[in-house]
Amino acid sequence: MAIASVRLLAVVLLKENTLRSRCVFCCREDGEVVTVAAKFTNHPSNFQFQYGTGDFLCQIPVGCEPRYAGLLSGDGLDLTNFTFLPVLNQDAPERSRLPLNFTLCMSIMFGDYNNVLQFVQAMELYRLLGIQRAIIYKTSCSAAMETVLQYYTSKVGFLQVLPWPIDSHLKPSSNWLPSLSPGDIHYYGQIPAINDCVYRNMHRSRYVLLHDPDEVIMPTGNITFKTLMSDLEKAHGEKVNFYFSNNVFPYEEKEENSRYDLPEWEHLPGHSFLLHVLREEDKSGYKSGKMVVDPRSVLQMSVHKVKHFAKGRTETIGPELGRLYHVRRRKNSNLKREDLVRDEGLLKVAQALVERVNHALSHMGLLLNATTRPNDPH
């Protein structure tokens, strides 16, 4: 069945008049273009910044089979240096025929990102859990991280890196509110990147996981991620999205004398999932979290929730089934070490993870043999 309209995702100046915006369709290979009026819908999650995410919805003209589309503002038709984007999602295969079951969408890699050890651990954790593909939007990273990205893109084929040069166009904030970090747009343009990734994978993957490289969703008990999702489908049906509450494991609280404090990792920048087993207990009643979504059920995403459904609903998943492990800086500075809860859930995959991480680091040329450690007197 032919598609009736095209949705263009955009970053917009929210006070700008969008009533005169038009979609430009390239209908045929001979280069003929057709313009139609665009209907604009603002995404509600802009967090008081002047720029935010928006949708431009355009009806496809009769007889047009659009391969490419773009956006114009105003009445002119100057296509000099005009950007056409390929029209995706024109074919909608049955859910059972989608090529992938699980795709991970990570948001922005920014600030010359250099958390090498945790990123490699995350990639191997996701692969161990059965995630088939990962995508990250990159603004900047260190030279060592470039080596890691090249390995997972070129040699393994697991990771897709999408350039995200938002800092060439806007001043992105480093926080979620302008009062905490002035800028043009919320947190490095995280929300348009999340929505872009959901739409890119709408007809590629049954589920899209939306979280970052310092997080992982682990099933509770001795089951795989695939089994967890199959059980959730049986309990709640299809076209359902699943929300997992956040659990912070502060990297300020490091496990002492751990057998996973490996000497061959000491030289690597970053944190280790395996050395942080103390969990903050959040008794405030509010918890952020991350989601596993059916991308075809979503029209608009915020950071932690679906803002507008095409169809379906969200179910909250309790810790008896799965837990989101988030190794990051301390969130609640009032908690003392004795207030934290010991949680060794990630250690059930520790041995397999160590083997996979060392294999990957060795192929990257980043694994330091314990017998040739820096400052070793021998």
pLDDT tens-place string over residues 68-94? 999 998 777 778 888 899 999 988 888
Q: What is the mean pLDDT of the chain?
A: 92
Mean predicted confidence (pLDDT) in 353-362:
98
Q: Check whether 28 has a pLDDT greater than 70.
A: yes
User: Which is more confident, 309 or 30?
Assistant: 309
Percent of the chain whose predicted confidence (pLDDT) is above 70: 95
pLDDT at 177: 96
pLDDT at 286: 62
Rounded to whole angstroms, the maximal C-alpha distance in the chain is: 78
Q: Check whether 38 has a pLDDT greater than 50.
A: yes
Distance CA 246, CA 211 (A): 10
Task: State the amino acid at position 329 in one-letter form.
Answer: R
Q: In the chain, at which residue ranges do the beta strands (DSSP E only) sit?
A: 5-13, 22-26, 33-37, 39-42, 51-59, 68-72, 85-86, 100-109, 133-138, 159-163, 205-210, 215-219, 240-250, 278-279, 289-293, 298-301, 306-309, 313-317, 322-328, 341-342
Q: Band of the pLDDT at 48, cuts 50, 70, 90? A: very high
Q: How do residues 120-133 score in pLDDT, each as one tens digit?
A: 999 999 999 999 99
Q: Band of the pLDDT at 35, cuts 50, 70, 90? A: very high
Least confident of 140-144, 154-158, 323-327, 373-377: 373-377
Identify the burial level of 26 via C-beta atoms within 10 angstroms of its C-beta, where 0-12 means exposed, 13-18 middle and 19 or more buried.
Answer: buried
Least confident of 2-6, 284-288, 342-346: 284-288
Mean predicted confidence (pLDDT) in 324-350:
94
pLDDT at 374: 40
Q: Band of the pLDDT at 18, cuts 50, 70, 90? A: confident
Distance CA 187, CA 110 (A): 10
pLDDT at 372: 42
Cα angle 239, 242, 245; round to 5: 170
Q: Band of the pLDDT at 239, cuts 50, 70, 90? A: confident
Percent of the chain whose predicted confidence (pLDDT) is above 90: 80
Task: Enter the pTM of the model.
Answer: 0.92
pLDDT at 17: 86
pLDDT at 165: 97
Distance CA 311, CA 330 (A): 37
Q: Which of 239, 374, 209, 247 is nearest to 323 (CA)?
A: 247
Q: Check whether 241 has a pLDDT greater than 50.
A: yes
Mean predicted confidence (pLDDT) in 205-221:
95
Q: Band of the pLDDT at 51, cuts 50, 70, 90? A: very high
Q: Check whether 55 has a pLDDT greater than 50.
A: yes
Residue 353 CA: distances (Å) to CA of 49, 176, 217, 264, 269: 41, 33, 15, 14, 18
Q: Check whether 343 has a pLDDT greater than 50.
A: yes
Q: Which of 308, 100, 82 is nearest to 195 (CA)?
A: 308
Q: How do residues 256-273 score in pLDDT, each as one tens digit?
A: 999 999 999 999 999 999
Mean predicted confidence (pLDDT) in 338-354:
96
List phi, psi (to 5°) of 34. -130, 140
Q: Check whether 250 has a pLDDT greater than 50.
A: yes
Q: Check whether 314 has a pLDDT greater than 90.
A: yes
pLDDT at 2: 58
Name the H helices within the chain: 116-129, 143-150, 190-200, 225-236, 350-364
